[in-house]
């Protein structure tokens, strides 16, 4: 599951941003054109107090690009191009883009989503990702 660590000390803030663009994080990319079926063992999603659905199935596959400095992500187009290139190189598939905070499929999806992917990529296990949010200023290119 890919999600926010909001509620924990030092947790994320998807509304205003919380990570310096000078930091390096993995870029989370998603391809929802592949329409991966939800696994039968997927736990049910939940609704947060604000009404957002947490933990819904994304319907997509993910890949990560390790060690991307935030200031490299100057626009959603730049990030999407990086994801598209990584998808073509690593999987031979087009359609990858930067993952978005609301990529779950349930109504009002946000905070976290499930997707098909690999646990490790070349021994790299990321724990924080660059993702975008479509309705807030908390994107690397907005800082």
Render pLDDT for 79-116 as a digit per residue (tens, 0 to 9).
999 999 999 998 888 999 998 877 777 677 667 776 77
Q: Work out whether the CA dihedral 101, 106, 112, 116 comes out positive or negative.
A: negative
Q: What is the model's pLDDT at position 8? A: 47
DSSP string, 29-64: EEE-SS-PPPPTTPPPPEE-TTS-EESEEEEEEEEE
**Domain coordinates in residue numbering, the chain:** 20-38+52-142
Q: pLDDT-based confidence at 12, cuts 50/70/90? A: low
Q: pLDDT value at position 97?
A: 93
Whole-model pTM: value is 0.80
Q: What is the pLDDT of residue 83?
A: 95
């Amino acid at each position: 599951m890919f999600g926010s660590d909001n509620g924990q000390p030092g947790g994320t803030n998807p509304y205003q941003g919380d990570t310096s663009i000078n930091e390096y994080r993995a870029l989370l990319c998603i391809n929802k054109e592949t329409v991966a079926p939800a696994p039968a063992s997927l736990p049910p999603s939940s609704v947060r107090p604000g009404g957002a659905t947490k933990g819904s199935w994304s319907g997509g596959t993910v890949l990560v690009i390790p060690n991307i400095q935030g200031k490299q992500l100057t626009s959603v187009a730049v990030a999407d191009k990086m994801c598209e290139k990584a998808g073509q190189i690593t999987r031979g598939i087009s359609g990858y883009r930067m993952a978005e905070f609301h990529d779950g499929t349930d109504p009002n999806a946000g905070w976290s989503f499930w997707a098909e992917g690999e646990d490790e990529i070349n021994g790299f296990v990321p724990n924080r990702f660059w993702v975008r949010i479509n309705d807030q200023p908390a994107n690397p290119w907005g800082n």
